[in-house]
Structure 1
Amino acid sequence: MPANEKLKDAISHLPHKPGVYKFFDDKGIIYVGKAIDIRKRVSSYFNRSAQHNKKTLKLISQIQHIEFTIVDTEADAFLLENNLIKQYQPKYNILLKDGKTYPYICIVNERFPRVISTRNKINDGSRYFGPYPSVTTMNIILDLIRTLYPIRTCTYNLSPENIAAGKFKVCLEYHIGNCKGPCEALEDETQYNYYISQIRNILSGNLSVAKNYFKDQMSAAAADFQFEQAHEFKRKLDMLEDFQTKSTVVSNTLTNIDVFSITSNEKCAFINYLKVMNGSIIMTQSVELEKKLDEEDADILASIIVQLRMEFDSTSREIITNIELSLPLDNVTVSYPQIGDKRKLLNLSLKNALYLRKEREGRQEKNKDLSEQREIRVLETLKKDLRLTELPRQIECFDNSNFQGDNPVASMVCFKNGKPSKKDYRHFNIKTVVGPDDFASMYEIVTRRYKRLLNENQPLPQLIVIDGGKGQLSMAVKALKDLDIYGKIAVVGIAKRLEEIFYPGDSFPLYIDKKSESLLLIQRLRNEAHRFAITFHRSKRDAGTLKTELTEVKGIGPTIANALLAKYKSVKKLKELSLQELTSEVGKAKAAILYKHFHETA
């Protein structure tokens, strides 16, 4: 059954249920999608082909197999799709590929807990905060915590038995006032744990508990005339105030909100994520994503929201965005505010997304301008070095290839604005020349190339480069003269040994500086033409070898040999086929002949 018939049959058996569908090519999963009705959604790919863009049509052309998974609700389909995309990373799905392992601040699950940074989140009872997209931001918070509170940094096991046995001694951290010596029972565990509870509040974005604590301590110390101690508490209170000021304060009424905004162009989408806790933005992240199938902004954002929330361990029950979208997540509300503090917050997120877009587009435009300037500079140099009358925006280079006179072929490569234009490359089978005659072959291919351009009214190149010495160059010139276009196109030859440039009718070669960009461009042309010719010649030679071996088998003619060649490329692959497989290809009688020949020969 043909592949398209198999797909039609598979689609006809798909259920009218919510779930996830997977498209496969011959190597694996290439796309994962979700649907309220699986059969309707999958059918739309094949029934509305006129409405699809090139990327989607390319996806459809590669589908060889379809699988599906039924789920209970649209929300289940949404989450399953996201998990499958992360697991298989299909090439046609948008995926957040950051490649980074973000750091966390961890309050270690131990007696007299330490506060450390880590990139490994493990289920050991410790409390993790983050992740932080910026290591600098995380270190600022850690430094603040260690300045405010005397937390130990050692890795001792401070069990009651170890401390009672006097196993540990205070270190330098104790003597400079950064630790109060719990290792020698010099600090009360209850007070230490109270510090830890305040640190948890700070890391959760709630600074009010810590601020009230330092205010009370400052007032109590001042009332007791402990002015130095009161000043120290005042200094720590000021540090908290300063830290809160540097965090973008939105509104004290906004707590635990995720903010997402998106803007896009034809190729990419730009997304910003703000995480708001207790009225302050505690984390921000902007990402750029390449579109795979010309997806709508709503589809892209819905997928990335799930990925970013998982990446940054968000448990927010409220999400605000700048576009309407369907987000079937349990106990999560999505809103699109138009006024008020939430709108201001959304505008801030969108401003970040727009800035990322402007920066990326500006960089691409700058790189494009620099590339174009370099191309023009190289072509200007080439024009000067070769004494051309016009800028060689289109250059074509010819080369011949044969092996001991067999399978003579030729190639022509085309560079436009200094870059390969592979759609304009051409192969030539030599038709009028018998034997290894490079001169006559050059005359033939140059004639055929430009005769065709003239007949089709196609533009001629500004420069022709002939890979060879004076002989090949003179034959190319003869071809141009016979076509009456000699003088309309500049033509030069390049000899391989000394990189000599020859002009028609000039017995002395031109030597260009070995480091010159124009010589490097000519060498690139020559090497590309040589590679292209050799590849073509090798494929013809291999095809000839295969045809010869097959046609030597009595009963196997050139038609069957060509058909098998087109499909299997080599005799080795044919020898691996079973008798049944050969029968399906060439029929029972021919298959028996081939199978017997291959295995008797072996």
Structure 2
Amino acid sequence: MNLAEKVKALPLTPGVYLMKDRLDHIIYVGKAKSLKKRVQTYFQQSKAHSPKVKRLISNIRDFEVRLTDTEFEAFMLECRLIKQLKPLYNKKMKNPLAYTYLVIRCSREGRRRIDITNDPAGQEGDLFFGPYTSRSTVEKAVQGLQESYRILCSSPYAKHSPCLNHSLGLCLGMCTGSEDALSAYNSVLDKIITALNGNHPAVLEDLEQRMIEAAEKHNFEAAAKYRDLMKTLGSLIHKEKVIGFAEEGRNIVILEPVNGREAKLILVKGNRIVRDTKVEAPDTDRNGPAAPHTLHRRIRSAILDTFRLEEPLSPRPKISRHDIDEAQILYSFLQGSARSYLIVPEHWLIPGHEDELGEAVERLIAGYVCAQNGAGDL
């Protein structure tokens, strides 16, 4: 069967495709909501193809597919296969240096400074944020914050000697030994740390106010600079929320449609799928039963049987660069519209809390029905 015939025979269902070269090496892994529609795009003439895609297409001699029941499973499978196979054209996930950390380092003198690194190992007292998948984003955020808050000191450990950046208006004067300058500097770092921890984003509020003031003075170049910095810093804060979500190691129950008759019950621990099974889909007829007894019982049993067998709640290490992609997929999926999911606290798994778990399963099934009817989440 030639490639055109293989593409024509593909189903309109979710899955992962693996592109191969003339030596039968897998050179690219991708996911699709509809395998047939997605794979077809590689074999159609298109001016929209990027140079990278054109090079990939020129080397494709064959492909294989792996079917999944849901798009979410296709995302997770693609991520796992890329890490396992390290295809040539999936360079972004292949290169471990693609992951960057922002770190607040503390010197022997007790002076803190912002740094960027690919190595999450550090000295006692260092405070790490990340991993981030875009080094350029981290660099833009750090450079922008240093310039905007005038903490870009070129001689941070000098005393009573103004640095070059101080004369350029980019340094508060920590290098001069000024206690006021050092206090202001530490206040800025505290604001940055607070924002990256997902708490009160005072830094973003400051930048927004500066943007407004610049625009009122018709200094649109400065206003645009503050706007771009807000967007860049916002992406780092979002990533920290993703990481924090994954580090909590939550028990997550997802109910996804497969077709009109079946749904997929997916149980996730942290950012790892620990169980998936097909179940009878709830009746989406508004006049029908919202939570059939057999479905309710099956979901409840799956939750108890699976999560009770998992390791008990314990302190978790910082999420590694190898976990960040799955964490991002899961977090983004749960933030999407028309999703039916449930987060199960550990105490619901203890005997005596059957009513709380039962009511939550009822809400999960009712949320699925509403989502399929286009009513959104409950």
TM-score (norm 2): 0.36
User: If you compute each CA radius of gyration, which structure gives the higher value, 1 or 2?
Assistant: 1
Higher relative contact order (CA 8 A, sep 6+): 2
